[in-house]
Amino acid sequence: MSDDIVGVLERELGAGAIVGPGHERLDDYGRDESPLPEFYPPLCAVLVESVDMASAVLRICAERKVPVTPRGAGSGMCGGALPVAGGIVLSTERMKKILEIDAGDLIARVEPGVITGHLQEAVEAQQLFYPPDPASLEYCSIGGNVATNAGGPRAFKYGVTREYILGLEVALMGGEVLRCGRRTAKGVTSYDLVAGFVGTEGTFGVITELLVKLLPYPPAAATILGVFSDVPTAGAAINALLRDGLRPRVLELADKNSVDYVRPKTRYRFPANAGAIVLIEVDGEPDTMTMQMEKIGMRCDDLGAIDVLAATEPAERRAVWEARRLISPALKEGWKIKVNEDVCVPRGRIVEMLARVDRVSAETGIATAVFGHAGDGNLHVNLLSNDNPDDPDVRAKMWAAAEQVFIHCVALGGTLSGEHGVGLTKRDYIPLEQSEQLIGWQRKWKAMWDPQGLLNPGKRLPLQRNACSE
Ligand SMILES: Cc1cc2nc3c(=O)[nH]c(=O)nc-3n(C[C@H](O)[C@H](O)[C@H](O)COP(=O)(O)OP(=O)(O)OC[C@H]3O[C@@H](n4cnc5c(N)ncnc54)[C@H](O)[C@@H]3O)c2cc1C
């Protein structure tokens, strides 16, 4: 039935919408930002420009039993947008319109392909604020953020994407279009289908329009960098600041290995004995913010910081952020393989989790660097190697180390992914965390939206066998 699906799609949607066989860009749709050496070329990619086009693709593919993989900007880190079962990639990259910004209702209505940073700039021009700030915001799409329930440093105070999605338009497998949610600030009239779609990684439907909640733009912000001699001292300082009742918008931690990699790249000269950094950002009215900043600075001193840097001007703040932002690129530059996991543990277990990562490193001989959103317990555990990335034994060793990290995280009461999602790479590790019963109910839920199992197959839930795969 899938014979000449490309021809059918071309006839129905126009050749201009299709990136087909032989096109130089087709291979791009078989890759994302996950650390997988394989790529999975689709039969074609369809670049939809409207809900009607998305609906037509889903109708045609359901009739012909062809798998469809939704795709935003392809910045996902766990293979969610890879067409592992072949078939069609449905890309929203041309759906880039900001349809409405309403400063009175504090909402924006947008198409899914809008780049997250562009939405932020557009609302900030009207003194409004869309807080979720994934580090990829300059190139990831808002639809992809909803599909992965993306988070970022500001999630500590403001929460993740889910908190900002009021309504969705979703095209379902078979072509039906569903609108759910509301424009109002509150509303409990129906089951919360909006929350039910957020974070489903393109396995329930294709998001074609979103209604986003906005906040007034915070009048002032300041950034503080606390440098500590080691992780336990930094961890104790974080716990003390939280016990003091302080609620900064950002509370980030990076370990010694991360600091050592970023040290030569930054304008800030780290003290020679720097063993961990804590980056804190506060916002609010200028006077209360200044008080908070002074209090945090003094507390960091009391709690054993070897250096404290505070910045209020945008240029100074950018310089302080540089120390945190450059860690990931510095690691990528320094190592041939960088597997970035994003485990999340209860806040009180962060220091223990870092000690366990050190243990995994000592046991496996794989280097690690850990940084992340300490305020949320969400840690980017980077497993690093300069061995040959194409060697299957090397890859198996990396994933065996990742599995050890997952096991330790779950033992501490944590969860496998705090923000990147499950996709392909974490799919088969889900049973480490969740019961067969819970997985079974999720399978039934998926089957309700996609009874033929054609929408983003092979993702999000373990395959019905016990092996771990990449
Ligand atoms: C350098 C870097 C830093 C990052 N930092 C962060 C971070 O701080 N926080 C964070 O959460 N993530 C981060 N990520 C991961 C990634 O950017 C996010 O997961 C992002 O939300 C993916 O958006 P995307 O548009 O690229 O989606 P894609 O990668 O294209 O797709 C991701 C998933 O969403 C599905 N999808 C995409 N669009 C739709 C749609 N319209 N309807 C239905 N399903 C859809 C896809 O099928 C796939 O399963 C980072 C990635 C990189 C490379």
Q: What is the pLDDT of residues 188-212, one digit of tens each?
A: 998 999 999 999 999 999 999 999 9
Res 2: pLDDT:
52
What is the mean pLDDT of the segment spanning 85-113? 98
What is the mean pLDDT of the segment spanning 118-140? 97
Q: What residue owns the CA closest to ligand 1's atom 5?
A: 135
Residue limits of CATH 3.30.70.2740 in the chain: 335-429
> Hey, which CATH number is domain 5-91, 2.40.50.100, 3.30.43.10, 3.40.50.970, 3.40.50.300?
3.30.43.10
Is pLDDT above 80 for 465?
A: no
Give the tens place of pLDDT for each residue, 52-86. Answer: 999 999 999 999 999 999 999 999 999 999 999 99
Res 224: pLDDT:
95
| Residue 332 Cα to ligand 1 middle (Å) | 19
Supply φ then ψ for residue 199, to 5 degrees.
80, 10
| Residue 247 Cα to ligand 1 middle (Å) | 27
187 — alpha (psi -120 to 50), left (phi > 0) or beta? left
Class of domain 98-216: alpha beta
- Whole-model pTM? 0.95
Is pLDDT above 70 for 466?
A: no
For the record, the structure tokens of 257 come out as: 């290995």
Res 470: pLDDT:
33
> Residue 245 — very low, low, confident or very high, per pLDDT cuts 50/70/90?
confident
Q: What residue owns the CA closest to ligand 1's atom 18?
A: 76
Class of domain 220-327: alpha beta
Give the tens place of pLDDT for each residue, 305-316. Answer: 999 999 999 888
Is pLDDT above 80 for 388?
A: yes
Residue limits of CATH 3.30.43.10 in the chain: 5-91
Supply φ then ψ for residue 166, to 5 degrees.
-95, -35
Res 467: pLDDT:
40
Residue limits of CATH 3.30.70.2190 in the chain: 220-327
Cβ atoms within 10 Å, residue 4: 11
* Site residues for ligand 1, CB cut-off 6 Å: 32-33, 69-77, 80-81, 92, 112, 134-136, 140-141, 143-145, 147-148, 150-152, 201-202, 206-207, 328, 419-421, 423, 456
Residue 264 buriedness (CB in 10 A; 0-12 / 13-18 / 19+): exposed
Res 376: pLDDT:
94
Please report the atom of ligand 1 found closest to the CA of residue 33. Answer: 53
Is pLDDT above 50 for 468?
A: no
Res 3: pLDDT:
58
Residue limits of CATH 3.30.465.10 in the chain: 98-216
| Residue 313 Cα to ligand 1 middle (Å) | 31
CATH architecture under which domain 335-429 falls: 2-Layer Sandwich (3.30)
Taking CA 438 as the corner, what is the angle to CA 463 and CA 209, rounded to the nearest 5 degrees? Answer: 80
Q: From 47, 136, 333, 338, give the residue whose CB has the most ligand 1 atoms within 8 Å, as the site to mutate.
A: 136
Q: From 140, 203, 332, give the residue whose CB has the most ligand 1 atoms within 8 Å, as the site to mutate.
A: 140
